[in-house]
Amino acid sequence: MKAITRIEQSLAAAIALGEDGSCPPRLAGAIHHAVFPGGARIRPQICLAVAQACGEDDPLLADATAIALELLHCASLAHDDLPCFDNADMRRGRASVQWAYGPALAVLAGDALIVRAFQTLAMGACHSPLRLPGLMATVGAGVGTPGGIVAGQAWESESRVVLADYQRAKTGALFVAATMGGAQAAGADPEPWRALGDGLGLAYQVADDIRDAAADPALIGKPVGRDVALGRPSAVTQLGLEGALAHFRGLIAQAADAIPDCEGGSGLRQLVLGESERLIPASMAEALRQRAALSAIVSA
């Protein structure tokens, strides 16, 4: 089975467990809206790829770990779009959860998804219960305080922010949980997998900054230019467009180099390089350069 099929099926099964007749129907709708249809599901894909590279002796637990991370990611998007943060009306090319269901149900859908993530992890550990505490520590570190994605979002409420700390928490932490959690789900030592997650997370954040600052809204399915409009730290405002593009390429190369020697290493390397092209296609980089050059001529 293709990884993406496996992920979508497991996500549907995890969500269905909370959807019986006693669930308030609009909450069930908001949760569904937050998870389906999804984006690239890159965190669970990376998690499964690492689990496979580590011998994947418990596919049920690998699935559960991958799905838990995606549910936490979906929860963070539902909350990030709230009026007190981005106040976004669009996400993944259609209405955001808060726009479609209102902010109250967007808050509750996010809360329910965080809980569902940990429930999924616990259920998936039935064959390897002794791996559960370590996996929960890894997943918890990726999402909670002091340095998970919740902390990353909270840096936007501080008056002084270090860009690298902010990016590492806001995006990197969940990628680190994906690589290390994938290893732990397969019973392997997670530490050698930290650097891959760290590099990938930083690369994603820089790619997001580039796409936010410069891309055509029609290409990425959400409003753009919000980082600049909201005065947020961004690689583009700090390094300029060309500097941010170079930084992105360097981070992807570092991430690919950080893959430990293992049986599935070359497949993982391909996944990383493929994601780089998906995030910032060569054609997009070239168009951005031309636009920047034109703008320099006009303002000269």
Q: Is 82 in the site for its own copies (CB under 8 A)?
A: yes
* Cα of 91 vs its chain's centroid, Å: 14
Q: Binding residue for its own copies (CB under 8 A) from 3, 59, 156, 215? A: 156
Q: Which two tokens stand for residue 130?
A: 């002794």
- Residue 62: CB minimum distance to its own copies, A: 17
What's the Cα-to-Cα distance from 183 to each of 116, 121, 174, rounded to whole Å?
22, 14, 14
CB 251 within 8 A of CB 209: no
231 is an interface residue for its own copies by CB under 8 A: no
- DSSP assigned state of 171: I
Do 61 and 139 contact (CB within 8 A), yes or no? Answer: no
Binding mask 35-74 for its own copies (x = CB under 8 A): ----------------------------------------
CB under 8 A: which stretch of 38-46, 103-111, 248-256, 292-300 binds its own copies? 103-111
Candidate list 145, 238, 266, 270; residue touching its own copies; CB under 8 A: 145
Under rule CB under 8 A, residue 12 binds its own copies? no
Distance CA 172, CA 181 (A): 14
Name which of 230 and 293 has its Cβ closer to its own copies.
230
Stretch that binds its own copies, among 125-133, 205-213, 216-224, 287-295 (CB under 8 A): 125-133
| 187 CA to centre of own chain | 23
Name the nearest CA neighbour of 118 among 94, 95, 89, 142.
142
The answer to whether 31 contacts its own copies (rule: CB under 8 A) is: yes
| Shortest distance (Å) from residue 116 CB to its own copies | 6
The span from the CA of 17 to the CA of 143, in Å, is 22
Q: Does 84 bind its own copies (CB under 8 A)?
A: yes
Q: Report the half-sphere exposure of 147 (CA within 13 A, side-chain side).
A: 14
Mark residues 169-208: x for contact with its own copies by CB under 8 A, - for none: x---------------------------------------
Is residue 4 classed exposed, middle or buried when 0-12, 13-18 and 19+ CB atoms within 10 A define those classes?
middle
Size of the site for its own copies (CB under 8 A): 60
- Tokens matching residue 31: 């949760």
Q: What is the DSSP string of 119-136?
A: HHHHHHTSS-GGGHHHHH
Position 282 contacts its own copies (CB under 8 A): no
Distance (Å, whole) CA 201 – CA 119: 25
Of positions 2, 5, 22, 218, contacts its own copies by CB under 8 A:
22
> Residue 235 half-sphere exposure, CB side, CA atoms within 13 Å?
25
Which listed residue (39, 57, 59, 85) binds its own copies by CB under 8 A?
85
Task: Confirm or reject binding of residue 163 to its own copies (CB under 8 A).
Answer: no
Query: Which residues in this chain contact its own copies in the complex, by CB under 8 A?
Result: 18-28, 31, 75, 79, 82-85, 102-105, 107-108, 110-112, 114-116, 118-119, 121-123, 125-126, 129-130, 132-133, 136-137, 140, 143-148, 150-151, 153-158, 165, 169
